[in-house]
Every structure is written in C-alpha cells, then in structure tokens.
Amino acid sequence: MRSIVISVNQFDVFPFLSASGDPMPFSERVTRLKSSLIREILAAAQRPEMMSFAGGLPAEAMLPKSEWADMPRSIGQYGMSEGEPQLREALAAQARALGIDCDASQVMIVSGSQQTLDLAAKLYIDKGTEILLEAPTYLAALQIFQLFGADCLTVPLLAEGPDLNALRQRLEQHSPSFAYLIPTFQNPSAVRYSETARDAVAALLDEFGVTLIEDEPYRELTFDGGSARPIVSRLKKASWIYTGTVSKTLMPGLRVGYLIATPDLFPHLLKLKQSADLHTNRVGQWQALQWIGSEHYEQHLLELRSFYRTRRDAFEAALQRHFADLAEWNSPQGGLFFWLTLKHKIDTRTLLDSALAQNVAFMPGEPFFADPDANPGYLRLNFSHIDPERLDEGLKRLAAVIRHTQLSQAA
C-alpha cells in the first residue's frame, strides 16, 4: 500500500527559495501563503480504496442530468463581466423572495462563491486590517483573509448563533472593516442562527456601521423544513455582500456562484472582477439558468433534501455505534457536515497520517480557527459523499485511530 505522510508542520509558510538557494523576488503577501491542508487531504482521498469524510462533495448520484442540445452557439462567445442578464434577473428574484431588497443590477456571477471572498479581500484588506469572524469559520475564507494580511478577530459560535456579548465587546473595542458570517448551516459547525440571533447581529452591525459579508452555500439543504431570512435583509444602515452558489444544489463543476451587493460596493467589486478574469463561464451559467426558478429545480431540491436527510441519519447511527464514548455532536438540520468535539482533547492534525494509513480521510478541526494551536480536539466529517456500504467501516477505523492515539499520548 502506498503510504501518504501529511505533517502538521508542512502547512507552515513555504520557504520561497530559488534553485540557487537565494530568496525569490515575490511580494510580501506571498510570505503569508500556506499550503492548503484540505487540498493535500483531498488529493489523498482520490485513491479508490480511501473512505473519505474530508471534503464537502455532493453525492454524485444526485448530480442532475444535464441537457445541452438547446444551448445557443453564441454562448461560446465572451459575455458580460457581471454575468448573463437572464441569470442575474433570476437570482435577484430568488433573493427578493428571501426578503433581500435588490435588483439584477446588484447581482454579479462569479466563478464559485470562493471568488466573492477573494474580491472582498482585495477590496478591504491591507496588512493589519481588522475583520470579524466566527470561531470556528470556513477554512478557505480564513486562508484568503490571512493571505491578504487580515488581523482576524473572532467571536465564539454557540448553538443559536454567535456569542452576542462577545460580539458587542469586539465591536466596542475594535473597528473591523467587515464581518464574515455563515448563518445557515455554518461550515464547519452546521449551526443555524436563530431568528433572535439574526436580528441582534443585524442591529449590532447597523449600530457600529460594519459591513456584512453573508455566505449561504447551504441554505437550500434543509432537512427539517426550517428557514430564516438572511441577515442582510434585516440591515437598515450597514453595507453588505451576500454570496451563494449552485455547487451544492446542482453541479460544482459548473463553477457558478453569485454575489449581491449594496450599490455603494458593487462598482468596486465589478472592477476587481474585471481585473481578475473579465468573464465567468458562460456555458455553466447557461446550464444553471435552465434550473434556477423552475419547477423541475424545486422538485430536484425536494429529492436532494430527502436523499441527504437519509444519509445524515445513517451517519449519525454509525457515529452512535463508534463515537459515543469519544465525542459529542449535534445533529445537523441541514448542510453536509457533522462537527465533533472530542471528550479528551488532542490535536486532531496528529491523527491524519494514521487515519490515511487505514484508508480513512477526514478534516481536522484546528485549521477552522484563526488560532489553530489554541483550539485542539475537533473534527469535521462529511456525510454526503461516502458510499453508505463503506460508512460503518470508515467510522470504525477512524474511531480506532483516535483511541490508539489518545492511549499513546496518555501513556
């Protein structure tokens, strides 16, 4: 069996040296560039024998069948930087149905919602810029904000949303350029903010004049039918950027995401996009437009929710069998992840090599925190993608790795 070794230390800053050993003439920003932990793990997870709980991959069985015969030849040509007008209209209508006051002129199509975060970082962040984040938060957002040199202020995430006392304290003591929040089935924790928390967050951001970047990739993946208006729809004064994607509901391969922004921000974001890639995949946009707002899309969402609800239930049953003595968790009411807190804290990054040797991949929880070394003992496990027939064995092996490591460290 080919071994894969992933060291905790290899995710430190790269040594940027030329072939002769001299420093490379790169930008100061690049000195903060770190290797992506999830990229390394997902590369290992491509092995056919690997049982992976690592990435947030949709189930391939639920990727919808795509039809291309009616696509106009003109779609192969360059398009508008803002995106296809019809798709922007459809997304604006969808947002208004959620209570967001907007029109199509505020909608921009991006190459997956990750590009929204890149544009926002370019718009706001210089070295030392203060920003506000949940703890834990989305790993790829944290990476890009830190790459641009942000000083990340964090607020603990509770069962109903952020710690509001801590949030007010942060806002009173600092002047963050923006707050980045994921209020609906948060990645990695799966927390869904309550209505009360959403109102309180909006009121605080308005009071202190802090821009909100609201990220909602999992909104449609609800298993209990519950929903809540986005926080941006509750803001009265603060500027905002709202971002979403079709990657979790249609096909990630389309690379179609979107942002909606207040008029004071949109022109600047558009100029930044034009300097980055000029255009977004028109073929992917055309395919997305065949679904958004249609009856067959609504039917697809119903089937998707039922499918993932079944997978969540099977996953939780297997967790009860193998992890009841090792960890605590809440049953996610939507999204694609379980967030586990180990009862006996260890740095879960130290488990990777042993788990991969057992053909099990998972995401350690520490990198989802701005200060990973101060937050040991968490795991993010994806339940959407693994073959159900391999689920039990995969969790059994992962639990065995944790028990062995805990015993070794206690000895």
Q: Which residues contact 61 (CB under 8 A, 6 or more apart)?
A: 307
Joined tokens for residue 316: 């939780």
According to the model, what pLDDT value does residue 409 have? 81
- The kind and range of the H/E element at 155 are strand 151-158
**Which pLDDT tens digit goes with each residue over 291-330?**
999 999 999 999 999 999 999 999 999 999 999 999 999 9
Percent of the chain's residues with pLDDT above 90: 84
- The confidence band for 9, taking pLDDT boundaries of 50, 70 and 90, is very low
Count Cα atoms within 13 angstroms, Cβ side, for 286: 17
Cβ contact 13:34 at 8 Å: yes
**Which pLDDT tens digit goes with each residue over 22-48?**
777 788 887 777 766 667 777 777 788
Q: Is the pLDDT score of 333 beyond 80?
A: yes
Q: Which amino acid is at 124?
A: Y
Q: Is the pLDDT score of 13 beyond 50?
A: no
**Which pLDDT tens digit goes with each residue over 244-293?**
999 999 999 999 999 999 999 999 999 999 999 999 999 999 999 999 99
The whole-angstrom separation of Cα 230 and Cα 100 is: 7
Joined tokens for residue 217: 């990739």
According to the model, what pLDDT value does residue 268 have? 98
According to the model, what pLDDT value does residue 93 have? 97
CA 309 to chain centre: 20
According to the model, what pLDDT value does residue 42 have? 72
Q: Which residue has the tokens 């009071």?
A: 207
Closest to 90 measured CA to CA, from 70, 104, 110: 104
The full set of domains in the chain, from first to last, is 8-63+298-410 (3.90.1150.10), 78-290 (3.40.640.10)
Query: How many CB atoms within 10 Å of residue 75?
Result: 16
According to the model, what pLDDT value does residue 395 have? 98
Q: Tell me the pairing of strands 151-158 and 161-162.
A: antiparallel
Q: Is the pLDDT score of 7 beyond 60?
A: no
The whole-angstrom separation of Cα 172 and Cα 190 is: 28
According to the model, what pLDDT value does residue 358 have? 95
Work out the mean pLDDT of the chain and round it to a whole number: 92
Q: Which residues contact 292 (CB under 8 A, 6 or more apart)?
A: 87, 90, 91, 94, 246
Closest to 185 measured CA to CA, from 369, 383, 334: 334
**Which pLDDT tens digit goes with each residue over 191-222?**
999 999 999 999 999 999 999 999 999 999 99
Q: Is the pLDDT score of 16 beyond 80?
A: no
According to the model, what pLDDT value does residue 2 have? 45
Neighbouring-strand partners of residue 108: 259
Overall size of the chain counted in residues? 411
**Which pLDDT tens digit goes with each residue over 177-193?**
999 999 999 999 999 99
Q: Tell me the pairing of strands 130-135 and 178-181.
A: parallel
According to the model, what pLDDT value does residue 46 have? 75
Q: Is the pLDDT score of 90 beyond 60?
A: yes
Q: Is the pLDDT score of 134 beyond 60?
A: yes
Query: How many CB atoms within 10 Å of residue 281?
Result: 20
Neighbouring-strand partners of residue 155: 134
- Stretch 57-63: mean pLDDT: 93
- Stretch 375-386: mean pLDDT: 96
